[in-house]
Amino acid sequence: MTKHLTRTTAIACMLGALSASAMAQDLTITFSGLAHQSGTLKLVAYDSAAGFLQQRAWRVAQQQVSDTQPELTLHNVEPGQYSFMVYQDLNGDGRLNRNRFGLPTEPYGFSNNELLAGIPQFPQLAVQITQHNQNLEIRLR
């Protein structure tokens, strides 16, 4: 009887793992509005409001810019709500440069292509990922 339960438990665990991975999908993010075909796009993604507030990124990715509409694919994305922020690092210093008033001097953008007056919040930027191989466009300013 113990062997049967152990085997049944193992099969149930394997099926659970397979169904969870079947729900994961690819998310392709296309970037538009680039004024320069150089530098690196730096993307920070959050999967919760708490992570956003604490600046604990769910994923960080980057993509070299070599054409007018680069894209980046995130693999194994579970369905849910996510917020994305991106900037184009033109000078290679690894940070979003700002002027003396705190305004960005390098191109940047957000999911939902929000024009923000102030500090971004998770709900403003949140997008729902539900479809297999979903696409998202982020326009840089």
pLDDT in tens, 37-47: 999 999 999 99
- 3-state SS of 11-32? HHHHHHHHHHHHHCEEEEEEEE
- What is the domain-level CATH number for residue 87? 2.60.40
Does some domain include residue 42? yes
Does some domain include residue 6? no
Does some domain include residue 76? yes
Q: How confident is the model at residue 1 (pLDDT cuts 50, 70, 90)?
A: low
- Is the per-residue pLDDT at 11 higher than 70? no
Does some domain include residue 31? yes
Does some domain include residue 120? yes
> Is-contact 128 81, C-beta < 8 A?
yes
Does some domain include residue 65? yes
Does some domain include residue 68? yes
Does some domain include residue 1? no
Q: Alpha-carbon distance 114 to 100, whole Å?
A: 23
Q: How many domains does the chain have?
A: 1
36 Cβ contact partners less than 8 Å away, ≥ 6 residues apart: 65, 88, 90, 107
Kind plus residue range of the DSSP H or E element containing 87: strand 80-89
Q: What is the mean pLDDT of the chain?
A: 86
- Is the per-residue pLDDT at 105 higher than 50? yes
pTM of the model: 0.81
Q: Which range marks the domain in which residue 86 is found?
A: 25-139
- Is the per-residue pLDDT at 2 higher than 80? no
